[in-house]
Every structure is written in C-alpha cells, then in structure tokens.
Amino acid sequence: MASNVYRNGTGSHKGATRPLAASNSSNVKSTSFKSRIPPSNHSPGSAPLRRSNSAGGSDGVPGRVRVAVRLRPRNAEESVADADFADCVELQPELKRLKLRKNNWDSETYEFDEVLTEFASQKRVYEVVAKPVVESVLDGYNGTVMAYGQTGTGKTFTLGRLGEEDTSARGIMVRSMEEILANVSPETDSVSVSYLQLYMESIQDLLDPANDNISIVEDPKTGDVSLPGATHVEVRDERDFMELLRTGEAHRIAANTKLNTESSRSHAILMVHVKRSVLGAEDVIPSETDKSSHFAKPPKPLVRKSKLVLVDLAGSERVHKSGSEGHMLEEAKSINLSLSALGKCINALAENSAHVPVRDSKLTRLLRDSFGGTARTSLIVTIGPSPRHRGETTSTILFGQRAMKVENMLRIKEEFDYKSLSRKLEIHLDKLIAENERQQKVFDDEVERINLEALNRVSEVERNFAGALEKERLKCQMEYMESVKKLEEKMIENQQKHGCDGFMQDKCNGEGPGSSIVEDVAEVKKLLEKEIHMRKEAQEEVNKLKSQLGQCPDSGEGGGSEILKLQKALADEVRQKKKLEEEMIILRSQMLQLTFEADQMRRCLGRNGSANAYGGLDSPMSQVRGSLNGHKTPVAALFEQVGLQKILALLESEDANVRIHAVKVVANLAAEEANQERIVEAGGLTSLLVLLRSYEDENIRRVVAGAIANLAMNETNQELIMIQGGINLLSVTASRAEDPQTLRMVAGAIANLCGNDKLQTKLRSEGGIKALLGMARCGQPDVLSQVARGIANFAKCESRASTNGIKSGRSVLIDDGALPWIVQNANNDSSPIRRHIELALCHLAQHEVNAKDMISGGALWELVRISRDCSREDIRSLARRTLNLSPIFRAEMRRLRIEV
Ligand code: ADP
Ligand code: MG
C-alpha cells in the first residue's frame, strides 16, 4: 500500500519528491506541484487522453490532483454514542498530517495537501480547496472539485450548502459561482450551467427531470466529453444561480439509509461552462481615431472555453454496511459501481498502470478529464470522527492518498473566435466604407474646385494674353506703317530734289550717296531691333503660359478639356509668333531691298546719274548684279541673317505684300551668279514657276519673270525651266501682260532660253517663238531689244544645227512668221535692236533653204544694206560673205544688178 510510506511518520518523506506545502497561488500557469509521473511514461494506448487542442498549441503545465481532508464535528448522536471513546482520527493541520488511531497505542500518519479540522470555516475550505481551481477556470483551464466520503460526513455540507439563512455557511458551489460571475464580462463572456445527477448508471437532468437518460458524447478527435442532451442555462447573476440550485435540489433523489436520513445516494454533478473572449496585444482593433492603421493586421480574437465540474459523490460506504434492502440493494450496487470504477481508475493512474479502465462507468467517463486529463482537480475527502466507522474512514483516507498521486497536464482550451472575428471585421469594414465614402466626397469636391480654379486661371491668362498680343500687333503695324510712310516721303523728297529719270535715279540723292539711305537703313535696323525685342517678349509670354499650364494640377476628365483649350491657345500663340516672324522677315527683306537700292544709288551717283539701271543688253538684271558685285558684304550679311529657306518660304505667304517682297529679294539674289545654283537647289525656281502659274497679279508676275530671267542665264537652269513648263507659263504671262516692264522681263527670260541649242525644238513647239514675236506688239524699245536678242540667239543656234546636219529644211523663224518683223526692224533706230536683227539675218542667210523666202520677204535688201552700212566691221563682212556664197542670192542680185 502506498500509505505505508507515511506510516507513523517514520521515513515517510524519504524518497518522496512531492512537496507537502499547499499552494494558494492563483496563478495556474506556474504550479507549485512537480510531476511525479512524467507524462511520457503513460502508454499512449491506455493513458488518459492528453488533449492538445489549444489554439496556442503550447504544452501543458503539470498539475497534480490536490487532496484535502475535512473532519466533520461530532453530531448529536455521536456525542452520545461515542461519549466514552476518543475520535478515531487526530489532526495536525499545521503539519498537514492526519493520525488514524488503530487502537490506544498505535496510529498511522498520513499527509495531505490540506488538513481541515472540524472547526474549519466554509470560507477557508473554499479558499483552500476550490478557489485555485475556479481561478484556473477563469483563465481557461478545465477544473474539477469533488467531494468523496462516507454518507453523512459532510460532502453536501461542503459543496452544496446554499447558506440562505447564514451566508457564512455557503458551500463551494455558491462561492465558486460568485467568484466566476464577479470576474467575467457580460459583454464578451458567457456562463452557463448544467446540473445533473448520476443515479444507477443513468444521467438525469436536474433542471429537467423528465430528461433522465442523457448520453455522454465523446469527440473522437479531441476526446472531449459533452452532454448535448443536458439543459444549459445561462447564468447572469447569483440570484439566477441560487434559483437553479434550488430547482435541482428539489429534484434530487435522496434515498434514506440507516446512516443518515439526509444523505444522498446519487452523484450530483454541477457543470459550469465559461466562455471568455481574449485578444492578443498585437491584435488590438484600431480605434476610430487611429486612421493610419486602417490596413493593419486584422484583429485575432480568441475564445477560451473552460468547464468547472463540481461533483458531490454518493456515499462511499460499503454496500453491506448500508443496510439496504430490496431495490435499495441494487441501488447501492449501482452507486458503488461508479465509485469502485473511479477508485480503480485512480489506482491505475496512481500506479502508472498501463490500463486505466475509464470506460467502466459513466462517472469515470464523465470525469476522464479530471483525473489524468487536462483539468486542475481538487479532491476533498470528508471523514467523520466516530471510531465506529474507522474502517470506512480508513478506506476514505487511502482513496485520498492514492488520488494525490494522480498527475494531470493542465492545458488551456483556446480557439479562434471566428464568429466574433467576423462580426468585428464587419464592423471595421463598415467603418472603412463610411470613411472611404467621406474621403471620396472630399476628393470629388477638391477635384471640382481645382477644375474651376484651372478654368478661371486659363481664361484669365487667355484674356490677358489676347489683349497683350493684340496691343503688340497694333503697335507693330503702326510702327511699320509709320516707317513705310517715312520712307516714301523721303523718296518723294529725293525725287523732287534731283528730278532724275528712271527707276533707280528717282532714288538718287544729290546730297550724297550715304546720308539719307544710311538714315533709312538705320531706321529699319531700329525697327528690326524693336521687332526682335517684341518677339522675345512674346516668346517669354508663351513660356510663361506654358509653365502656368504645367503648374495647373491634373484635374481629371475636366482637366483634359482645359488642357485642350490651353493647347489651342498655345497653337494660336505659335501662329501669332509665326506671323511676327514673317513680319520681321519682311522688314529684313525690305532692308535688303533698301540696301540694294542704296547700292544702285551709289552707282548712279558715281556715274553722274547717267546710267539706265535696267537697260542692259544681255540681261535685265545685269545692272543689279554689277552693283551687287561692288557691295557684296552687307547684302551677303543680310542674306545670311535672313536665310534662303525663310525667304523662299515667304514666296508662299498668304500676304501679297510679303510675297512680292520675297520675290524681289529672290530676284535680286538670282542676279548674282553665285546664288543662282543655291536658289534652284533650294526649290526657288519651282516656287517662282508656281507663283507665275497661280497669281494673276501683274506686280508679282513681273518680278517673278525678272527672277526667272536671271536664273535663265545658266544653261542647267534653262533646261529646268523648260522641263517644269516654264516656257508655256512665260508665254501665257506675255500674252496677258500690259506693263512693258513685265514684257521686258518675260522677253528677257525667253531670249535667254533661245540661246540654248538643246531647247530649240521644245521652245518652238511650246509657243515660245510666237510669244516672243507677240511681245513685239508693245513697241517699247527695251522689250523689242529683248525680242531681237531672242531671235538672234535662236537663229544662231538654228544655223549651228543646220551646219552640223542636225537640222534640215526652212528656218522655224520663217515658218512662224518672224521674217516680216525682222525685216521691218532690221534698220531700227535703237542700236541694240538693230544689231541683234542684223546678226539674225546673217544667220538665216547662211542656209540656201531660207533664201527664197528671204528674197520674197525683202530680207535681201536688208542684207545688202548690212553689207554696206553696218557700223560693225565683223557683221558687215559676214553679210557680204554670206550673200556671195549663196547661189540664189547671187542670181537674184545679178537679176537686180546689185553689187556687194
Ligand atoms: P453527506 O452529504 O456526506 O451525506 P451531509 O453533508 O449531509 O453529509 O452531512 C450530514 C450532517 O452533518 C448534516 O446534518 C450536516 O449539517 C452535518 N455536518 C456535516 N459536516 C459538518 C460540519 N463540518 N460542521 C457542522 N455540521 C456538519
Ligand atoms: Mg450528501
């Protein structure tokens, strides 16, 4: 027997590792009990279930079953019956020892966790036996408080007294409940109670006596035992609970026995289910004001479910001693079935036996967590003092001793509270949704405000800018007009002062070549500088606008249209800027023009104003070119400054004024051989031809024709002019022209083309010859001179072709009816005309095929005159030689008796 170890207190502590001190500690996580039997020593197959379903998954804390012994005072009957005998036990509470007297001279000593004398108050009993268990239950552990003992020793007194008449008499059930209710929170926690009795191996619901066969259900996974059929009553306050206990008590079957008429033979089981919500520190839900943590880790609420089981066992006395009869005997057997099964289980656990017969009775099945399980368990064994019951008392003490060896493994049952988590998340989500809606509204308002502000700013900038631009434009126009007016006035003044003839001499200034023109140039330069300054300002304004646009916050969809508007405004600005640039180029070209004119004037003055600027024989622009050669630097500088491309671009300007200036500049530039190639390369020729084709304006046509005439001095350009339909354009221009200057330019251009051997056929087929002859109608000497030059050039080429055998047959000039005009003007007063025609006649006369026509057209007389009177010796002898070489001419001369 295990109790032998403690017998007589001798050597009883040797080898015992169990500390004797009781622990009043309420901290269930640090127990003062040391495990005597390591959990691993239990065989997995037979050891009571070690549950591990706690959410934390932490290992349990070892917790031995604590056992206290309580001695009932002598009752009235004992006081009489045992008056002459001493009590069978002697208590040493300070040593936590109990001496069991065997006889007057022999006793056995036992140690318990607590030894409670007959004077121990109910309060002290509660604090020593039950309070640590209740506190564990509040912390989430399961707990058991069980009273074991012979009938009449005070089990019900200890556990179940209600203490209605005397509150100090309240038993463990009432006090436990008080403590639980005082510590739970009604908002988050819940407490419910089942009250059952186990009687003759059937479980009856004391809260619903009709329900008398409740079955035990075990979770196969966790081994958890539950009674789903039992009534669970939620308890909110002490009153509820007292009412509940009273109801249960009323239903409790109490069978009388000989030993104590009040004692019960059933096992009464009160189950208190505690459910508490707990939150880890890191899982605190963000407060409403803490907006920054909206997206923090969601809270992780946990729920701890624990169960306090209070068991008031039926009397432990042996059946033969109960004196029961009839069915009462059966009853006693059944009562003792559960009790003896409990005893066997505790023995097995105490001895670390391989097999624990938990399943032998309903009581052991119900208490499987209390002994060898995860619960904190306190057992109170009650004994009476009477020596007459020494046997029962001994067996009770030994039961207690064995129970002290049972080691439990305490574990918290904690699980995620998904319901509460979901509820909390829902609330949190709703809060976030509301907050989001609020913020969205604020955002929308802000976007609207920004849109409005942007709109206002854009329109304000537009207004300001349009105003400023218009002002600038007007100012420029005024200044431009002013300067033009001034220039014109000066020109008239000069004209009046000198009365010079001709286009160039009109501009001559008797005061000297420099002063007035220099002033003009200086003025234009000043204007130009002003323009440049204004352009800079406009550019700055544009940049400012751009940066303002850049600063405008992105205002969503509304902003898109704003940006479009601004872009439009910007495009307008760019257009305005282009216009300003054009105006600048015009001014520059005017300056260029003026520089040319100044050059001309200097030349005029240099030649005492006698030269005719455009009267050159070879080219209408020869004078200009000549002047250019003398003063190349300032012109070249201006040319470089403006840029050829820009000037050519201006040829297509919508402004007629600009166009004509541009053409003039191009014409002047084309007069210089060095520029011709560049102009053609840059597409200048094509542009000029386009102008000729598309503009009726004779001013433009005149200047364009002049430019083409200059370009037509170059053989390559002549071909290009032809290829691009230039001859036809020039013919049309000639036919419509009224101004002799226009005709002079066109005739000059065609005359240049006439000197190209390769172009003979095309020139004729495209009506060039006819156009040339047609221009003679105006009778203006300058024009006639160009016509004559053209005919001479053509005749020369034709003659060359005939000599080389490329051409045969009569002269095209004769075919096209040029002969009468040639004959008519052969003796023209103007020497340039006369000379060109004389040469033409000589060329024609060199070919016999033309002779007959020439004779009939009267050309022979002119040839004879040339051979006699021409001032130029070379032409005179050419004519003579030609006449003598031609048999037809000679025959005709013989017939007419003419000698050369
Ligand atoms: P059990 O439930 O073990 O059969 P009870 O609790 O019914 O025993 O007690 C039997 C009698 O003894 C009752 O009258 C009870 O009041 C009395 N009694 C039991 N324990 C004590 C005690 N510690 N002090 C005073 N009276 C007691
Ligand atoms: Mg009782």
Mean pLDDT in each 10-residue stretch from start to end of the chain (900 residues)?
A: 31 31 31 30 32 45 94 92 87 95 88 97 98 96 96 94 94 97 93 91 88 90 88 94 90 46 71 88 48 54 92 78 53 73 94 92 94 95 94 94 95 76 84 93 93 91 87 84 83 73 39 57 80 82 75 56 79 83 73 68 56 36 39 54 77 80 82 83 88 85 88 88 90 88 92 91 89 89 93 93 89 91 90 92 92 92 91 91 92 88
- CA–centroid distance for 105 within its chain: 98
- Identify which of 69, 70, 71, 72 to mutate to test ligand 1's pocket (most ligand atoms within 8 A of the CB): 72
Give the ligand whose atoms come closest to the C-alpha of residue 158.
1
**147 C-alpha vs ligand 2 centroid, how far in Å?**
9
Nearest-atom index, ligand 1, CA of 157: 6
In this predicted structure, what is the pLDDT of residue 296? 55
Nearest-atom index, ligand 1, CA of 72: 23
**334 C-alpha vs ligand 1 centroid, how far in Å?**
23
| 408 within ligand 1 shell (Cβ under 6 A) | no
156 is in an annotated binding site: yes
817 is in an annotated binding site: no
155 is in an annotated binding site: yes
384 is in an annotated binding site: no
149 is in an annotated binding site: yes
In this predicted structure, what is the pLDDT of residue 628? 38
In this predicted structure, what is the pLDDT of residue 281? 46
Nearest-atom index, ligand 1, CA of 161: 6
Instruction: Supply the pTM of this predicted model.
Output: 0.47
Nearest-atom index, ligand 1, CA of 263: 4
Segment 569-575 long-range contacts (CB within 8 Å, at least 24 positions apart) = 569/458, 569/461, 569/462, 569/465, 569/545, 570/542, 570/545, 570/546, 573/465, 573/469, 573/538, 573/541, 573/542, 573/545, 574/542
In this predicted structure, what is the pLDDT of residue 666? 84
**261 C-alpha vs ligand 1 centroid, how far in Å?**
11
| 153 within ligand 1 shell (Cβ under 6 A) | yes
**768 C-alpha vs ligand 2 centroid, how far in Å?**
148
DSSP-assigned beta bridge partners for residue 306: 274
393 is in an annotated binding site: no
CA distance 617 to 789: 8
**203 C-alpha vs ligand 2 centroid, how far in Å?**
17
In this predicted structure, what is the pLDDT of residue 295? 52
Both structure tokens of 134: 């209740």
150 is in an annotated binding site: yes
Give the ligand whose atoms come closest to the C-alpha of residue 70.
1
| 151 within ligand 1 shell (Cβ under 6 A) | yes
3-state secondary structure 143-198: EEEEEEECCCCCHHHHHHCCCCCCHHHCCHHHHHHHHHHHHCCCCCCEEEEEEEEE
| 263 within ligand 1 shell (Cβ under 6 A) | yes
Q: Contact, 394 vs 106, CB < 8 A?
A: no
Under CATH, which number does the domain 67-280+299-416 receive? Answer: 3.40.850.10
In this predicted structure, what is the pLDDT of residue 63? 92
Alpha-carbon separation of residue 81 from 100, 260, 387, 619 (angstroms): 20, 15, 10, 169
Among protein residues, the one with the nearest Cα to ligand 1's atom 23 is: 72
In this predicted structure, what is the pLDDT of residue 537? 85
| 136 within ligand 1 shell (Cβ under 6 A) | no
| 267 within ligand 1 shell (Cβ under 6 A) | no
Give the three-state DSSP class for 271: strand
| 75 within ligand 1 shell (Cβ under 6 A) | yes
Nearest-atom index, ligand 1, CA of 312: 2
**128 C-alpha vs ligand 1 centroid, how far in Å?**
19
152 is in an annotated binding site: yes
CA distance 119 to 470: 116
Which residues 6+ apart lie within 8 Å of 743 measured at CB?
A: 734, 737, 775, 778, 780, 783
In this predicted structure, what is the pLDDT of residue 538? 79
Give the three-state DSSP class for 141: strand
| 396 within ligand 1 shell (Cβ under 6 A) | no
| 56 within ligand 1 shell (Cβ under 6 A) | no
In this predicted structure, what is the pLDDT of residue 500? 45
